[in-house]
Chain A
């Protein structure tokens, strides 16, 4: 039967969103070490390839490698702000990538998904930035100079509580 076939992969726009976020992660890693930036860039490239081929697994691996690049930069004495933004950017790149793959599989490359994708990426970035700023403020100018571990455990406890209350 003649007619348009559904292309079961993400459209071009998805690459832009993930690419920008991934590039941000790599740039932030550069503040720590060149090697970390290279790893983050490689991860981003793998992630983009995964989005292009609509392969969830490749996107996951790419996102993980991009984060490892940022983590490597963190271990090389990168400033805390750069590490936080880099982490959020890596998560946003991965999140936007998997979201794009699911959109591509469900709706195809021809469907107009720009608005949905943008909004999803914005929401993800906002969550990252809010928690990053929150952590940074508590860490830098909080009344007590507690170790960050305390903050971390506190947040985990809070999250578990909220999840438990929601069930």
Chain B
């Protein structure tokens, strides 16, 4: 019976509220509301019994009137209001708040009887009153409706998003002590205002609290509240995990590129920008050879023909399009951060991947995405605007690319085998990883020995302020040097350096 009740009431409420309109800004209007209600505690407790009698029918009308009165001046048409919630789990327990109080009462009564002190006995009478107060009521079972308003549903990363939560008591019982804690998505940081509040709600009354979040790249859902309802004396409490109507924040990373990424001279058969050692058509002169039947007229060296009447064909360096697959390291080990603040290595790696991806697309290469993650992350190499949009979506919202480490194990060997099957023979690999352990080096090496040209882009998460950290930093730089020794190109990207600078530094070393 109790499970059917809230829904039926929700339906009624929704009807009655459709005519109501919302305030343009929850915050200030609610101050009025709170001000109006803050008078209540003065007489609220005395009125509790009176409220019990008028619960029958009057209260809902009274609150509707009150809502209308406060919204009259500033009303705008916005039909949404708090919607009903479903309870995911409910737990009732004793708070042990009044434990031991009875002992004190009987001690003072006994002392009063012994010393024949009437005032002390009377004090014990007061104590008995409190005992009754503490033990005769049970924690209320709150019936709530919740609305969550986001100032922006699709912010840029770094933007501030204000979240306003409205909680309404749609049940028939007074909630004398209601504590609400917002379940903020784990990866998001609350920058202003607590995402928690406590108040007392009579039937039909609302409470509002708001807080500010810093948006991060990704797709986040808000769909839960933790509610703790106590009885008036605070002796019993009920903790609920309620599911609210979902709201979500989706923050897509901007489309920006870095300077051209230096690629290895390994190519696909399509014309592109990577100069190769093979000769053919192109713009850069490579060599001369004897004319063969079928060579294009434009490639015949007419100067030689004028001199000694022999036909020679000019050869040019062929420029081809590269196929590149960017591979991210999203194992738990890669979630490292230099210091306590700022983005961690995986955040930087994903940022680098996005820039490299876009700049490679800009220069006409075919680019794909893959990752060592708990779930499959695979975007086959491609080109064009649709491909760019698809990659942006994947890099921003794929659950494996969220800023929190994976909960499941990442099976490197299986993933490596699968990746090797997917890669074209001529595909280059850009492995983006902070290179936290030997496994990451093994990944780079085994892709290298399978014939793919591997470039490692490695955001540096190490610090050098304590001996232990210095050791870890040296360990990592040795690892990078070993890779360089086995013909893998490495871009070591410092914490305080722009990606373009790191790439430029690496390019100079490679060409020199």
Residues of A participating in the B interface, judged by any CB pair closer than 8 Å: 1-4, 6, 60, 64, 67, 70-71, 74-75, 78-80, 83-84, 86-88, 91, 95, 98-99, 102-103, 106-108, 110-113, 115-120, 122-124, 126-128, 130-132, 134-136, 139, 148-149, 151-152, 155-156, 158-159, 162-163, 166
Chain A residues closer than 8 Å to B41, beta-carbon distance: 115, 118-119, 122
Which listed residue (A84, A98, A112) contacts B123, Cβ 8 A? A84
With both chains docked as a complex, state the minimum distance between the C-beta of B203 and any C-beta of chain A, in angstroms.
15
A-B residue pairs in contact (CB < 8 Å), sample of 13: A2-B191, A64-B104, A74-B120, A75-B115, A83-B122, A106-B181, A107-B179, A115-B200, A117-B198, A123-B233, A127-B133, A163-B135, A166-B135
In the assembled complex, the CB of B254 is this many whole angstroms from the nearest CB of chain A, namely 21
B274 in contact (CB, < 8 A) = no
7 tightest Cβ-Cβ pairs between the two chains A and B = A131-B129, A3-B189, A83-B119, A148-B121, A135-B125, A110-B194, A116-B198
**Partner among A71, A102, A106, A116 whose Cβ is within 8 Å of the Cβ of B200:** A116
B108 touches A84 (CB 8 A): no
In the complex, residue of chain A having the shortest beta-carbon distance to the beta carbon of B343: A1
The CA of A155 and the CA of B106, in the complex, are separated in Å by 12
Helix, strand, loop or mixed for chain A's interface?
Answer: helix
Known: A74-B119, A111-B198, A148-B118. A123 touches B232 (CB 8 A): yes
Contact among B38, B121, B342 for A115, CB-based, below 8 A: B38
Q: Known contacts being A71-B120, A107-B194, is A91 close to B179, with CB within 8 Å?
A: no
**Known interface pairs A87-B126, A119-B41, A149-B109; 6 further A-B residue pairs with C-beta atoms within 8 A, sorted by A's residue number:** A112-B194, A112-B209, A122-B42, A148-B118, A152-B109, A155-B129
Give the contacts of B22-42 with A (CB-CB under 8 A).
34, 37-38, 40-42
Smallest CB gap from A60: residue in B: B100
Query: In the complex, what's the smallest C-beta–C-beta distance from A113 to chain B, in angstroms?
Result: 4
How far is it, in angstroms, between the C-alpha of A156 and the C-alpha of B228 when the chains are bound? 31
Interface size class of B (residues with CB under 8 A): 35 or more
Q: Is the CB of B200 within 8 A of A4?
A: no
Chain B residues within an 8 Å CB radius of A127: 129-130, 133, 233
Inter-chain CA distance A124–B177, complex, in Å, is: 13
**A128 B129 Cβ-Cβ under 8 A:** yes
Chain B residues contacting A87 (CB-CB under 8 Å) are 123, 126-127
In the complex, chain B residues whose CB is within 8 Å of the CB of A159: 128, 131-132, 135
Least Cβ distance of A56 to chain B in Å?
A: 9
Most central of B113, B119, B129, B138 by chain A CB within 10 Å: B119
Q: How far is the CA of A91 from the CA of B97 in the complex (A)?
A: 12
- The residue on B at minimum CB distance from A131 is B129
